[in-house]
């Protein structure tokens, strides 16, 4: 997995500026759309650390996303009222990371197809815990109190008018920090070790690396990042339901990662925006949104072997 070149990062920074300037030229609807794409990008980035980083294809990622979202709801019950985002965001990340820490040692005993199936099993287990018990409010989901955007008595008042702008900028901030953190992480010794595992796990083991511990660390960090994405989704929608944890959502994140390109760290960001855009265009030109999505994915898998990030302009 490559990290973007200085020129690539400059292009990403310009795109981020264009998003930050959206309140000046875009409608609230389009700002909400950009927020949706950015949350999908956070979620897909968390999966990219596993897939592109260490070659671990997991179907449990949505479970950590959902736990991060439900943590907001459960925390509001404990604190008896809307908590501050300064409390709820770390709480979502730690609870999702903790879940990954509990599942990881089991799931990581397997590799390849068996890892895919083991993570599917654990993901579905958590899905049914929220679906079949009253822990999170039952199968139909619940409306939740949004965390307060502020702390120590100072808070930003959310209104119908300023909400799209505030969420747009907040999501942009979280996505930027997450991307920068992963960019840094992949350049550390830890990141290089993960890439080594992806290239040849047995060789890394023979060279004396504690492969299992490295993979567990990646699994936990990815779980915590998915939890953050889930937190932002809960904040945006003020609603959580068990479907957030379902395998379908994991598959969708995988789709975004593959569409964007697993060979580049920024692939999922491109993939998430492309996927959101394809759905939106599909919806506006035809009644048949999924037809357009299906055809684009089919074309991508037949023609684009390295995803969108792998497209090279002829020079």
Partner 1 sequence: MTNIAGLFAQILNGVQYGLLLFLISSGLTLIFGVMRVINLAHGSLFMIGAYLAYVTAAATGSLWFALPAALLGGALFGALLERSLFRRFREREHLDQVLLTFALILLFEEARAALLDNQFHSVAIPAALDFSVRVTSEFSYSAYRIAVLGICLCVAALMFAFVERTRVGSAIRAAAENAEMVDLLGIDASRLHTLVFAAGTALAMLAGALAAPLQSVYPGMGDGFLIISFVVVVIGGLGSISGAFWAALLIGMIDTLGKAYVPQAAGTAIYVLMAAVLLWRPAGLFARA
Contacting residues toward partner 1, per CB under 8 A: 51, 57, 106, 109-110, 112-114, 116-118, 120-122, 124-125, 127-129, 131-133, 247-248, 251, 254-255, 258-259, 262, 288, 290-291, 293-295, 297-298, 300-302
CB of 57 to partner 1, least distance (A): 6
Query: In angstroms, rounded to a whole number, what is the distance separating the alpha carbons of residues 203 and 92?
Result: 36
Task: Report H helices in the chain.
Answer: 6-20, 22-25, 28-48, 54, 61-79, 85-107, 112-132, 163-185, 189-199, 201-206, 211-237, 247-260, 267-285, 289-303
CB of 98 to partner 1, least distance (A): 18
Say if residues 97 and 227 touch (Cβ distance below 8 Å).
yes
Show contacts of 133-139: CB within 8 Å, 24+ apart.
136/70, 136/73, 136/74, 136/240, 136/242, 137/73, 137/240, 139/241, 139/242
Structure-block tokens of residue 199: 């290239």
Closest to 61 measured CA to CA, from 45, 77, 75, 76: 45
Say if residues 307 and 268 touch (Cβ distance below 8 Å).
no
CB of 300 to partner 1, least distance (A): 7
Query: In angstroms, rounded to a whole number, what is the distance separating the alpha carbons of residues 296 and 310?
Result: 16
Instruction: Using the minimum distance from each CB to partner 1, give the nearer residue, 127 or 179.
Output: 127
CB of 117 to partner 1, least distance (A): 5
How many CA atoms are closer than 13 Å to the CA of 94, on its beta-carbon side? 7
CB of 211 to partner 1, least distance (A): 18
CB of 120 to partner 1, least distance (A): 7
Say if residues 242 and 139 touch (Cβ distance below 8 Å).
yes
CB of 241 to partner 1, least distance (A): 15
Overall residue count recorded for the chain in this entry: 315
Instruction: Using the minimum distance from each CB to partner 1, give the nearer residue, 65 or 247.
Output: 247
Instruction: Using the minimum distance from each CB to partner 1, give the nearer residue, 164 or 267.
Output: 267
Instruction: Using the minimum distance from each CB to partner 1, give the nearer residue, 65 or 127.
Output: 127
Instruction: Using the minimum distance from each CB to partner 1, give the nearer residue, 18 or 301.
Output: 301
């Amino acid at each position: 997995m490559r990290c973007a070149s200085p020129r690539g990062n400059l292009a990403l920074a310009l795109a981020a500026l264009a998003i930050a300037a959206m309140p000046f030229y875009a409608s609230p609807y389009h700002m909400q759309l950009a927020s949706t794409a950015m949350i999908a990008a956070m979620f897909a980035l968390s999966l990219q650390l596993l897939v592109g980083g260490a070659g671990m294809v997991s179907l449990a990622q949505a479970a950590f996303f959902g736990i991060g979202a439900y943590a907001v709801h459960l925390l509001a019950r404990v604190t008896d009222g809307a908590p501050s985002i300064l409390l709820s965001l770390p709480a979502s990340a730690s609870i999702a990371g903790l879940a990954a820490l509990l599942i990881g040692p089991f799931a990581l005993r397997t590799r390849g197809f068996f890892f895919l199936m083991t993570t599917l099993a654990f993901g579905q287990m958590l899905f049914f815990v929220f679906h079949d018990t009253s822990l999170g409010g039952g199968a139909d989901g619940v409306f939740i109190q949004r965390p307060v955007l502020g702390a120590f008595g100072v808070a930003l008042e959310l209104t119908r008018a300023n909400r799209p702008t505030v969420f747009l900028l907040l999501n942009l901030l979280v996505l930027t920090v997450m991307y920068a953190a992963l960019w840094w992480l992949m350049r550390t010794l830890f990141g290089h070790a993960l890439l080594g595992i992806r290239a040849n796990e047995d060789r890394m083991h023979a060279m004396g690396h504690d492969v299992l511990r490295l993979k567990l660390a990646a699994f936990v960090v990815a779980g915590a990042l998915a939890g953050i994405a889930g937190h932002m989704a809960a904040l945006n929608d003020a609603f959580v339901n068990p479907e957030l944890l379902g395998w379908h959502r994991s598959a969708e994140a995988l789709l975004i990662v593959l569409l964007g390109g697993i060979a580049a760290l920024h692939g999922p960001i491109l993939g998430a925006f492309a996927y959101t855009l394809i759905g939106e265009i599909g919806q506006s030109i035809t009644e048949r949104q999924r037809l357009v999505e299906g055809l684009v994915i089919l074309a991508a898998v037949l023609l684009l072997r390295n995803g969108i990030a792998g497209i090279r302009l002829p020079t």
